[in-house]
Structure 1
Amino acid sequence: MPELVPGLVSVIVPIYNVEPFLRDCLDSLRSQTYRDLQVVMVDDGCTDGCVPIAEEFAAADDRFTLIRQENAGLSAARNNGLPYATGEYLAFVDSDDILAAHAYETLVAALNAEGADFASGGVHRYSSRGHYSGYPHNAAITSTRLSTHVSQNHRLLRDRTIWNKLFRRSFYDAHGFEFPVGRLFEDVPVTVPAHARATSVAVVNEPMYFWRVREGAVRSITQSDNDLRNMVDRFFSVNLTRDLLTESGHHDLRRIYEEQAIWDKLSSYLKYLPGASPEFRDTFLDLATAYIAAVDPGAVDRQPARVRPQWQAIRDRRVDDLIELIDQDFRPVVKPPAQPRLESAVRRMEWRDGKLVVTGHAYVPGSVPSRFGLRLLWLSADGSGRKVPLRARPHREPTGSPAEQASGFTIELNPSALRGRAGWRGGTWTVAVAATRGIGVRRDGLRVPDDWTAPMPRQRVDAGVWVSPAIVKGRLRIKVTKSAGWLTGSRRDGDDLVLEGRLRARPKAPVRIALNRARGLVVRSVVAEVTDGPHGPAFTARLPLSGIALDDHTDNHAGGLFAQRFGVDISIGDKAVALIADDDYRQIRTVVGADEVYTTVAASGLVALCTRPAGPVVTDAQWQTGGALLLRGDAPEPVDGRLVLRLRGRRRDVTFPLRSADGRWQVLVDPSAAPSLAGPLPLTAGVWDFSFRAAGHHHETTCPIGFTDAVRTALPTSAVAPGGARSVLRPAGGERATITVEVPQRDPAAQERMRAEHFPATGRAPLRDVVLFDGASGRRFVDDQAAVLAELRSRPDAPEALWTVERGQPVPDGAAPVTYETAAWYAALATSRWVVANDDLPRWFTPAQGQVVLRLGGGWPVARFGACAVAHPLGRELIDQIESDAASWTALASPGPSATPVLREELRFDGEVLEFGRPANDLLVTADAETARAEVLRRLGLPGDTRLVLYAPTRRPMDLRKRGWSDPGRLLDLPRVVASLPPGYELLARRHPGLADDVMGLAPGVLDVSGYPSVSELLLATDVLITDYSALLADFAITGRPVVLFVPDQADFAASPGLNVDLAQAAPGPVLRTSEDVAAAMHDLSSLAADHAGAAAAFAETHRTGGDGQAAARLVDWLMTAGGREIAMSGRSGLRDAR
């Protein structure tokens, strides 16, 4: 091995077929602020465009070297790259991931701070949705420690990835670490033993590494838990790691690791077992039982309650019990809301005459609060255990409930009570409360309501000392912040940022201002000039902006991945404390290179210095009359992009144009009327984040959009829409803000009262001449109901129509909305003469005498979905719901005679079946295709001569176990397919309506049309359909246009839930199993149509669902006749002759 170069960081980057991601990875290495870098790129036999990209970097930067090998896998590439690494420090990076620009600068500093053998940095998951803290690293690295060890902190056993680490090469070589060749999860047999064998380890709780979540069909195999090799290699990795810990003598750590691995790693496969192939299931059981037999006998019984019964069943090979236990976890269960042990809330809070006055209530649920009941409040100091009693006076809140009025109180908190004998100390105090029930006492922190919007200002109580209320995990805390100095002003002077402030006393030692990324990791430090000002000693510090800002123009920077945040300390001699901002301090913002450098002040007064990409920032946010939010902002240069609202925890975006040519911009966001393909719709309830999306150098970039301190300190603010929904603009971390859309919560007790009122055992209200369309618009296509509604409204004397709706869903013209589970909905369901449903009605529903309930059967059921479904996650519960539902129907509408026997069996219905055709397909028979195409292209904003390919798969039962399993972008490689389309074609992707998220894996040329209001109109405008086991297969056959069946999971799907059509014999188009095959089929669409014309015609004839285009008319005629109502019959339906 060559002599190691002091200070050099050697990074080994294995590369295999990651062309879409490689440039971002290598850009992040080239952007490192630690310049003494060697990058060893190992081509592991790439077959895509990776090698030219790697060669480009090697030619442009002599720190990059490319070596080649035959494809041998990730472990071999890492091992083979090691001899080329000559640095004192060693790191590994996966070629689809991204490093923070300051990653190695920080890790080198952490490594050398106290002589650790290696350093681990924090990790964020990264996707098109942005980046976020995720498991397991958020559980492993919870604080910055410059010297720790896994024996002291067992959580570090979860820090098992290689690429967030920087090793001393001497330590790495001394222990002969090597990655197991030909196996997945190759990191763990290196990293876990490394933790055990190290003398000390440094961990930095700041994001150093962005771990890409592969979206769409191009997923890494380690993201494919249902893959057999994945599962086998996981067990191999765990067992190899156990052996290595044993060999190194770390028996205690081995036992902890063995137990942790069961729920932390091996339990991830449980959700796949019910629908897995026999080979997968048997292999798992063999490996799992062998593992259980090899580890501590009590390991299974000590597992968390959520997985313990499953592993006990595995141990005993009770397969049926195991499957039932797994599926129980994924069945919807209505749980009563948890009753808090102590009900408390802050009502008002304000500073009055130097005291914090808090008004609230506290009582024990289930008891009868008394105005004179015992309520105790006190302050408890975090860490020290010191307590300060608070005197509570009774207070009756006029607007509260009787319990809240009787248990109301007011306290006055004098800040001087928080001062200790030795003076003020910084710290946090919990406001605690206790109340009695009988002879028992309940204690808790005083709660702050989730909808709290009042300001929580701080109060200066002494020179350099502030007291401020804060909300931490829903409880009221009091923070005391103390500093040796405080910031009064800041300005830019040439290439320097000048900080000015005051000191508590004239210092006897030099004063320094330091920037740190984490406690103990100082990045910049300057000596401050101290002068005597009119109000006492003052300081002035000059920070060179060149050492703070980045002049980086990569897509990584534009996406916000290189944003920085520095804590600002003031030190006198050796003692450093956080710098606090004065009450009148005003934020500075200045552009340096590609960065905006700015100060920000936390609610407690702590100062931070930050950078973000120079781009749009919100400088004003005002609610308008009617509930819309007007955002105004600035931008240092012209911008042309979109403001993006992203629903937190889901994959759903709403976008608004954001353009600026003169440095100013504004966007109006109306939570009650957000743009969609179906027209303006309310935002669904939840937390929505703000981002800015724009074109990048190689791909679009999306970056969190910042809000100035002036805007954030005025938050939260709120507005109430006419429908009662409340939207709250709240401050969020990282100088951002969110909109929280809150809708009135459904009280189970109130639901029961409304149900009892409208569905009494006897004496129900009389029926009204109303048609209620009670659909599952969030789970089913609503085109059938919409077609019946349109036909109904065309009759001159039609009855009133109501439409069940939930927030965020459209209502067709001609119907009045009734919100699900409101009093109006209960009344409509009980008294409407006609109920037209396309999904389950409530199990408690029973039709009134004379009430007509028509169940629309939907399309031709290619896939089994009801009583015939094999190994469905809902099990017997599904059958019970189907039988209960069928008992309430007057008739079932079938799409055609050949579908009727299947529907009878699937839905357990032996009553009247109406074989009039599928009403949604009337449009496919009677409407003009070119007119429909023009309307679709207009809505989508596409040129009028665009041809359309639609990909619309059905959902899999696995969606109930793992969200997004049937996402179109997960199943099919959309970018590959769109790249193969002839010129002038656009690829549309539509998820099943039972999936709530936007389509993943989108690319230029692919449009998500899941929100398009009419599937029938889309089908009519589509030139080629790509689908699978969907009922759309039969619907589209009416058009006579070509169809491609993409069925990558045909064998698994045929086994569970099963098929009602033998696709091997009756498919109307080619049956393809890979994205490559689908892409190849797109090259010659004319041959595709000709080659399968006969099969398509035969399928259309056998599975006819279109009828003569009069299905809706016949159904309306039948409804009115069945309900005893005489209205104008359709002259087209021929119902009287048919009957």
Structure 2
Amino acid sequence: MGALLTVVVPIYNVSSYLVDCLDSIAGQTYPDLDVVLVDDGSTDDSGEIAERYVAANNRFRLIRQENRGLGAARNTGIDAAAGEYLTFVDSDDLLPPYALELLVGVLEQTGSDFASGNVALLTSRGLRQSPLHRGTHRFTVLRTNLRSRRNLVYDRLACNKVFRRSFWDKHGLRFPEGVRYEDIPLTVPAYALADAVDVVDLPVYYWRQREPGAELSITQRQHEVRNLVDRFAAVDSASRSLAALDGKLKDWYDETTLVNDLRIFLDLLPDVDQRYREAFIDLAADFLSRVDERVLDRLVARLRVAWRLARVRALPELVAVVAASRLGATPPVVRRGGGRYVQLPLLDAGHPAAPREAFQAESGIRTEVHELRWVDGRLHLRGLAYDAARGAAQPWAAARVFWLREITGKRRVLRLPSRPRRVAQAPSSVPYGWSGFSAALDPRRLRSRDGWRDGEWVFNIALVNSGGPHRRTLGLGDFRPALPARWVDDGVRIVPFPDRSGLRLRVERPRAWVTGTWIEGGTLLVAGRALTSPVGATIQLARSAGVLWRAYPVEVSTPATASEVAPGGRSAEDPGPGDPSLGAAITPEDGSAVGVAWTARVPVADLVAGAGLAGWSVLVGEVGASWRVALTEADGKTWELPVRVGYTTSRQVVGEVEVVAQPADDEVLSLRVLPPGPVASAVELADGMLSLRGELPSGLPGRGDLRIVLRRPVGADPFEVLPPDIELPGEVSAGWRVRIPLSGATAVPDGDWLLLYRWGPDQEPFDLPFDIAARRSLPRDASSGGRRLELLPERDRETLRLSTP
């Protein structure tokens, strides 16, 4: 038995959602749960639903109380908690099956005070990344703290965390009662008090967004004056707590509050009545009286001006500025003398609270990386980069220089050839239609005169225009493009990877690699080679980087010759299809023994149980059950296991799921469990059609009624009216094929479209997976019939983007 985890679930009039919520808790792959249901005076059927779960599952308990609000209900559950760990789930939200196992597992591994996982927003159309957590949880980072990662002040949700009970009790943590926004006054000080926290990149919490026709959640009722009052009270409480602990932490928090929490209410001012406006200005002026002037100076121009006006209670001027600049508006950048300023009301008025310097436009370089791709042995990059104050209206707006800088070894600098590209222009204060770029790297340039050496390189960019030179590391922006790795020489890989500062490359010579996988009976066998004998080694499976899930012993076989095992080479016995874009592989010729063969056995039942898909309806956009595979030697050193050229994906249907062993984009072996269905393995563009085709697992019921579904993703506005799904019949024989029309009367309209599939009209759709061969060959940026087509990779799925110039 593992450590007991108490899950506190406050319940109040959520009968429409409660069954799904409690099912997601009962179906967790972590079994050692103490689930405390607190019925906070529900007047619907919620209490009866909770009673049924208590009767059916001895891990569930029910406490009833008169209605006292969310904070009080959580505190009641805390007082009754029996676990060594503590977490919270709101009764209209969901947990993915692995959530609690992942968070408790990382705490058991690290000893941190609490663990926080990523968050996905949940609607009837599927999941999407929570904007609040996009930056905070982009990477897994273990044993960090708020002083090391100050953007964690954006992570204000309580329910995506598991707390160590001893930490909770040591600091006397409680939720405020009788107010809304209970999370903020607790989670922000908790981050400041913690010596170490674990941040996990996988979504562990599905946060429901109420849709048209449903009762709005508290966070969706911003127009209510009580919500305004309670939000200011919550952020002020957190700010005062931080002031008592660390003034610098308070300043960081105040800045994020003015950008996010309170900005939401600021943007409402043109639409609300005078009573609401006066309440806002009273609360804002009071809060801002305790905010350092330097915090306001760090804000972008529209917020800098707005909050300066709010501080002096200049309400009419504030409403005018907000109306001209709130989200959706794009006030232009104009010149005044030698500077560039955002053209807002009062720019030339000389208002004492808003001098001209407060309108100064954002400076520096904005960058996004949209794609990395290997073509003819070279790594090609595509993205955008422009001066935030000047934009890029013409291809000659600025000279752009790209280079790689070695941050280990000899610290060499390599300039990269590039050319400008035109990109689609979204609403913006500056035109940036010519901000696009493409650049290319010949990996042989990374090799030093004395041969290949392990090391890291960082991508950099400089813009030179009339405003002078600007430089920075090449950031990925909000995109999460596929980052493909490649074998480029005998035993040498080039691996792009993201870092907090931007895009990097790693040159590595792996000590171990995978040559094949296959399923035999109830066992997944993994075979590979290692440069030294892996006696006492294990292969380790991790859902998230550095977070161990399971380990299995390695069995050592006989030594092998170089021609048999050279990673990136091809043996006579197993030539493999390889990838023609890589160029010729290099193989040693001396035949000396350079490696040791090994195998490991992974019980398929472990993977199926760890997936937790029994009774779980996989959602659109769900990451699902996936593990990366590494080899840990007897001395504790761990190496991720890339596959060699010619590796063949292993797939097998096991009961109601399919077990898949395949390389990820960076070629590291990944094990997945997912619903059995089609996989796209080839893409063709011809005659005004985008054709997808691929394989089907054998023995699927209803396999003749395959439908490919195109769905518009939900944007920032959950109330946006989106077009209906487009369903296209799949042609099914030995494999499957679908044709997506890009021209004519039935052409798919412009916009972004998720690629999904379903079996028949009644099944909910799933993401259509693409195998690695298809992802390498996709037409990332093409034209058909005068329309532009892009396929945008993210994890294992693709988004189709169509536009007409």
Encode CA deviations 1:564-600: one digit per residue, 9 max, x unaligned. Answer: 2212112333211111111111111222343322233
SS in 2 for 1:737: strand
Give the structure 1 partner of residue 235 of structure 2.
238
Encode CA deviations 1:320-343: one digit per residue, 9 max, x unaligned. Answer: 211111111257658699999999
Distance in 2, Cα, partners of 1:295 & 1:440: 33
Distance in 1, Cα, partners of 2:272 & 2:307: 18
AA aligned to 1:461 is D
Compared CA separation, residues 96 and 299, structure 1 to 2 (3 A): same
Compared CA separation, residues 276 and 466, structure 1 to 2 (3 A): same
Moved more, 490-499 or 638-647: 638-647
AA aligned to 1:466 is R
Give the structure 1 partner of residue 651 of structure 2.
589
Give the structure 2 partner of residue 462 of structure 1.
490
Contact 1:600 1:735 survives alignment (8 Å) = no
Which of 16, 23, 34 is equivalent to 2:12? 16
Encode CA deviations 1:845-871: one digit per residue, 9 max, x unaligned. Answer: xxxxxxxxxxxxxxxxxxxxxxxxxxx
Distance in 2, Cα, partners of 1:201 & 1:358: 35
Which of 512, 520, 535 is equivalent to 1:485? 512
**TM-score w.r.t. structure 1 length?**
0.55
AA aligned to 2:640 is A
Distance in 1, Cα, partners of 2:472 & 2:163: 45
Compared CA separation, residues 632 and 287, structure 1 to 2 (3 A): same
AA aligned to 2:489 is V
SS in 2 for 1:232: helix
Contact 1:560 1:613 survives alignment (8 Å) = no
Which of 626, 637, 644 is equivalent to 2:701? 637
Compared CA separation, residues 265 and 437, structure 1 to 2 (3 A): closer
Compared CA separation, residues 627 and 58, structure 1 to 2 (3 A): same
Distance in 1, Cα, partners of 2:77 & 2:804: 56
Answer with 1 or 2: which has the greater Rg: 1
Which of 20, 24, 29 is equivalent to 2:25? 29
SS in 2 for 1:140: coil
Distance in 2, Cα, partners of 1:162 & 1:358: 38
Which of 153, 158, 176 is equivalent to 1:162? 158
Which of 18, 43, 49 is equivalent to 1:47? 43
Compared CA separation, residues 226 and 633, structure 1 to 2 (3 A): farther
1:662 Cα offset (Å): 7.8
Compared CA separation, residues 326 and 739, structure 1 to 2 (3 A): same
Distance in 1, Cα, partners of 2:99 & 2:45: 27
Give the structure 2 partner of residue 713 of structure 1.
776
Distance in 2, Cα, partners of 1:329 & 1:548: 51
Encode CA deviations 1:833-888: one digit per residue, 9 max, x unaligned. Answer: xxxxxxxxxxxxxxxxxxxxxxxxxxxxxxxxxxxxxxxxxxxxxxxxxxxxxxxx
SS in 1 for 2:157: coil
Distance in 2, Cα, partners of 1:130 & 1:138: 17
SS in 2 for 1:510: coil
AA aligned to 2:150 is H
SS in 1 for 2:282: helix
Instruction: Write out aligned runs for 1:807-826 (5 A).
Output: none
Contact 1:638 1:663 survives alignment (8 Å) = no
**Is 2:569 the counterpart of 1:507?**
no
Distance in 2, Cα, partners of 1:246 & 1:440: 39
Which of 76, 83, 103 is equivalent to 1:87? 83
Instruction: Write out aligned runs for 1:815-854 (5 A).
Output: none
Compared CA separation, residues 740 and 336, structure 1 to 2 (3 A): farther
Give the structure 2 partner of residue 623 of structure 1.
685
Which of 547, 560, 571 is equivalent to 1:533? 560
1:419 Cα offset (Å): 4.6
Which of 101, 107, 116 is equivalent to 1:105? 101
Contact 1:378 1:387 survives alignment (8 Å) = no
**TM-score w.r.t. structure 2 length?**
0.77
**Is 2:257 the counterpart of 1:261?**
yes
Q: Gaps (5+ residues) in structure 2?
A: 335-361, 420-436, 565-594, 716-721
Distance in 1, Cα, partners of 2:221 & 2:714: 21
Contact 1:142 1:205 survives alignment (8 Å) = yes
1:41 Cα offset (Å): 0.9
SS in 2 for 1:54: helix
Q: Gaps (5+ residues) in structure 1?
A: 396-407, 674-679, 745-1139
Distance in 1, Cα, partners of 2:50 & 2:386: 66
AA aligned to 2:140 is T
Distance in 2, Cα, partners of 1:656 & 1:709: 25
1:523 Cα offset (Å): 0.8
SS in 2 for 1:172: helix
Contact 1:693 1:700 survives alignment (8 Å) = yes
Higher relative contact order (CA 8 A, sep 6+): 2
Distance in 1, Cα, partners of 2:618 & 2:467: 61
Compared CA separation, residues 91 and 726, structure 1 to 2 (3 A): same
Distance in 2, Cα, partners of 1:357 & 1:559: 30
AA aligned to 1:415 is R
Give the structure 1 partner of residue 603 of structure 2.
544
Instruction: Write out aligned runs for 1:210-221 (5 A).
Output: 210-216=206-212, 217-221=214-218
Give the structure 2 partner of residue 96 of structure 1.
92
Encode CA deviations 1:793-848: one digit per residue, 9 max, x unaligned. Answer: xxxxxxxxxxxxxxxxxxxxxxxxxxxxxxxxxxxxxxxxxxxxxxxxxxxxxxxx
Encode CA deviations 1:956-990: one digit per residue, 9 max, x unaligned. Answer: xxxxxxxxxxxxxxxxxxxxxxxxxxxxxxxxxxx
AA aligned to 2:488 is R
Distance in 2, Cα, partners of 1:181 & 1:343: 44
1:742 Cα offset (Å): 3.2
SS in 2 for 1:522: strand
Distance in 1, Cα, partners of 2:14 & 2:666: 45
Distance in 1, Cα, partners of 2:544 & 2:319: 47
Give the structure 2 partner of residue 381 of structure 1.
406
Which of 548, 561, 567 is equivalent to 1:522? 548
- Judging by fraction of residues, say which structure has more helix: 1
SS in 2 for 1:460: strand
1:221 Cα offset (Å): 1.6
Encode CA deviations 1:199-227: one digit per residue, 9 max, x unaligned. Answer: 32222222111111111242202222112
Instruction: Write out aligned runs for 1:670-681 (5 A).
Output: 670-672=741-743, 680=745
Encode CA deviations 1:601-641: one digit per residue, 9 max, x unaligned. Answer: 24442222222233343344333423343445525432657
AA aligned to 1:267 is R
Aligned length: 703
Contact 2:706 2:759 survives alignment (8 Å) = yes
**Is 2:733 the counterpart of 1:668?**
no
**Is 2:286 the counterpart of 1:223?**
no
Distance in 1, Cα, partners of 2:260 & 2:371: 42
SS in 2 for 1:548: helix
Distance in 1, Cα, partners of 2:303 & 2:402: 40
Contact 2:541 2:548 survives alignment (8 Å) = yes
1:232 Cα offset (Å): 0.8
Distance in 1, Cα, partners of 2:521 & 2:145: 46
1:26 Cα offset (Å): 0.9
Compared CA separation, residues 65 and 695, structure 1 to 2 (3 A): farther
Compared CA separation, residues 435 and 288, structure 1 to 2 (3 A): closer
AA aligned to 1:381 is E
Instruction: Write out aligned runs for 1:291-690 (5 A).
Output: 291-329=287-325, 379-381=404-406, 386-389=411-414, 413=442, 415=444, 417-419=446-448, 424-425=453-454, 427-430=456-459, 458-463=486-491, 465-467=492-494, 480-503=507-530, 505-507=531-533, 509-531=535-557, 532-534=559-561, 535=564, 536-549=595-608, 550=611, 552-557=613-618, 561=622, 563-573=624-634, 574-634=636-696, 636-638=700-702, 642-648=707-713, 650=715, 651-657=722-728, 665-672=736-743, 680=745, 682-690=747-755
Root-mean-square deviation (CA, aligned residues, Å) is 4.5
1:719 Cα offset (Å): 6.0
SS in 1 for 2:267: helix
AA aligned to 2:447 is L
Give the structure 2 partner of residue 192 of structure 1.
188
Compared CA separation, residues 259 and 721, structure 1 to 2 (3 A): closer
Which of 173, 192, 202 is equivalent to 1:206? 202
Moved more, 54-63 or 638-647: 638-647
